[in-house]
Structure 1
Amino acid sequence: MLQMNIDHSSRPLLTGFAGAIAMAAAMGFGRFFYTPILPGMMGGIPLSAADAGFIAAGNFAGYLAGAILSAYGWAAGRERQVALGGLLATAILLAAMAATTSVFAFTVIRFLAGLASALAMIFTSSIVLPHAVGRDNVNVLHFGGVGAGIALSSALVLGVNAVAGDGAHGWQANWLAGAAIVIVISAAVGWLLPRPIFGGGSAIEPPLRWRLPLVLLTASYGLFGFGYVITATFLVTIARMGDAGPIVEFLAWFLTGTAAAVSLVLWRPVVRGFGLTTAYAAALGLQAVGVLGSVLLPPTAGALVGGLLLGATFMVVTAYGLQIARALSPDSPRRALAFMTAAFGTGQIIGPLVAGWVAERSGSFTLPTILAAAVLVVCVLLALPVAPQRSQ
């Protein structure tokens, strides 16, 4: 792919934009596009709730595998090629979802898509974030791409369904349309993404010291993976089962994306006024309210409130949890992030499996969603003691 002859050091926002559209493709489409397409797949193939949960868990397992694989040094000097390769693989794997109706094949494809999206996200971030040092707007732009991708994917599904219908084959047209979007984005990223900035930071870190605050935070973060992912996977399906209508289905996921895109900016005053850990706990509590509301409120209100509060919190909890872990482990920050990511990844693999299994037997997603909200409350309780103990 081509690269622009640009002095990125003098135009950091251009680098941030390259990161943003890469995150939109890798995460908004590669990882979360399954959510708005799932109702059409469940009706058109059809898939059971347990099947849907199994396929979703495969994607999150692939993401965890990609995160672990990225921790090794095999890609040193090839970060840009790996990032672009991950984006291209994401496009191919999105298209592959339209070529089968086998649950096993879907799971394998989504596993590989999770692996590809993790590689694209991690290595793009490793290139972009050094350009964000001292420039918070670059950081916010880069991570805001996740929400922008979610919002765009929601609009794409609405448009494709209006043209192709949401019948037996409408879900296939959605996967192909998403693949086309990601191919275009991949070409743009290849044109705009700079070469990596190489520096220090390769020293071997000492083993983690598992003090109580880090143990509590890691447990909270792992359970957060379980608590958020059920709504993040099945929100549009819940709206469909409640007959909320296609516009509400679109708006629910669109609100999730737009809120996520600006959430890190909106939470800045909370961090400045109350501290990072308090903001982390508050975002978890607000997310629990939204998760519970998605099934206890009337279908339209539940979908919209659930989507809005999910988007306003899940990127915040993700980012703040990792920042707190780094602060708790100043001598071994990379090890802390690896354990946190592993805990989170395990939680979000288990979540869809449990939700699909329980929904299959109960006839709705109400019970697993209430369980997810309860788990998020436990996350808050685990996080509350972390801030006072950090000060000791």
Structure 2
Amino acid sequence: MTFVIAWMKGRQFTPPEIGLFWGSLGLAVMASPYLWRASLASSLGGRTLGASCVVLTGATALLSVDASLPMMLLSACLFGSSMFTGPAAITVMVRNGSPRETWGAGIAGFTIAFGLGQAVGPVVSGWIGDLTGSLTLALLVSSAILATAAAIAFLQKDVRAPA
């Protein structure tokens, strides 16, 4: 998302189209808690995290194949509906799988890892874009990383806090 405005401008999208993209993403973010609530409430393992990574993978991969306005809007809706589900799913996993006194440390560790990813991801994507002259490869690399994260999340066993 860091480079999406520049990318859309480079593809001759108009300011209203760019605004529509961001508006769609924002509306999807607002709908996200309602879309994922049941899954978060019932998942004791990595199923919700994995599913959200699959949706993010699709949202990212779409743009490497077709960057038309309809696909941009679909990507925005998919991305927005899932972008904050990962942290929520990790929080549920920490709370279900560890004693109460370790929740803070577990969530803090994830927050640090998430923050590092948020800092490093755009730098690497920008570097790939500069190297290739396009963000297409960066989108594909991001999709591969998200698909790998989904696979790892789905391998997570159901967890319950120790008695």
Range into which the TM-score falls when normalised by the shorter chain: 0.7 to 0.9
Instruction: Determine which of 132, 139, 144 is the counterpart of 1:369.
Output: 139
Displacement, 1:294? 2.1
Displacement, 1:341? 0.6
| CA pair 269-327 structure 1, distance change in 2 beyond 3 A | closer
Task: Show CA shifts across 1:209-248 (max 9, x none).
Answer: xxxxxxxxxxxxxxxxxxxxxxx21222222222232222
Cα distance between partner residues in 2 of 1:326 and 1:269: 16
Amino acid at match of 1:360: D
User: Does structure 2 retain, via aligned residues, the 8 Å contact 1:243–1:299?
Assistant: no
Amino acid at match of 1:341: T
Q: How does 1:86-97 map to 2 (within 5 A)?
A: none
Q: CA RMSD in A?
A: 1.9
Which residue of structure 1 lines up, in the alignment, with residue 126 of structure 2?
356
Which residue of structure 2 lines up, in the alignment, with residue 263 of structure 1?
32
Displacement, 1:301? 2.6
Number of aligned residue pairs: 159
User: Does structure 2 retain, via aligned residues, the 8 Å contact 1:236–1:249?
Assistant: yes
| CA pair 271-342 structure 1, distance change in 2 beyond 3 A | closer
User: Does structure 2 retain, via aligned residues, the 8 Å contact 1:295–1:369?
Assistant: yes
Cα distance between partner residues in 2 of 1:324 and 1:237: 37
Cα distance between partner residues in 1 of 2:86 and 2:69: 26
1:320 aligns with 2:89: yes
User: Does structure 1 retain, via aligned residues, the 8 Å contact 2:40–2:89?
Assistant: no
User: Does structure 1 retain, via aligned residues, the 8 Å contact 2:40–2:92?
Assistant: no
User: Does structure 1 retain, via aligned residues, the 8 Å contact 2:56–2:79?
Assistant: yes
SS in 1 for 2:157: helix
Which residue of structure 2 lines up, in the alignment, with residue 240 of structure 1?
9
Structure 2: any 5+ residue segments left out of the alignment?
A: none
Which residue of structure 1 lines up, in the alignment, with residue 70 of structure 2?
301
Instruction: Determine which of 249, 270, 279 is the counterpart of 2:48.
Output: 279
SS in 2 for 1:336: helix
SS in 1 for 2:75: helix
Cα distance between partner residues in 1 of 2:131 and 2:111: 31
Cα distance between partner residues in 2 of 1:257 and 1:300: 16
User: Does structure 2 retain, via aligned residues, the 8 Å contact 1:244–1:299?
Assistant: no
User: Does structure 2 retain, via aligned residues, the 8 Å contact 1:235–1:307?
Assistant: no
Task: Show CA shifts across 1:262-282 (max 9, x none).
Answer: 20112223345x525322211
Cα distance between partner residues in 1 of 2:43 and 2:97: 14
Amino acid at match of 1:358: I
Amino acid at match of 1:339: G
Cα distance between partner residues in 2 of 1:301 and 1:241: 17
Q: Which has the higher contact order (CA 8 A, sep 6+)?
A: 2
Which residue of structure 1 lines up, in the alignment, with residue 115 of structure 2?
345
Q: After the TM superposition, which segments of 4 or more aligned residues of structure 1 sit over 4 Å from their partners?
A: none
Cα distance between partner residues in 2 of 1:279 and 1:316: 8
Q: Percent identity at matched positions?
A: 25
Cα distance between partner residues in 2 of 1:292 and 1:386: 24
User: Does structure 2 retain, via aligned residues, the 8 Å contact 1:296–1:302?
Assistant: no
Q: How does 1:39-58 map to 2 (within 5 A)?
A: none
| CA pair 295-302 structure 1, distance change in 2 beyond 3 A | farther
1:381 aligns with 2:155: no
Which residue of structure 1 lines up, in the alignment, with residue 58 of structure 2?
289
Which residue of structure 2 lines up, in the alignment, with residue 107 of structure 1?
none
Task: Show CA shifts across 1:82-139 (max 9, x none).
Answer: xxxxxxxxxxxxxxxxxxxxxxxxxxxxxxxxxxxxxxxxxxxxxxxxxxxxxxxxxx
Structure 1: any 5+ residue segments left out of the alignment?
A: 1-231
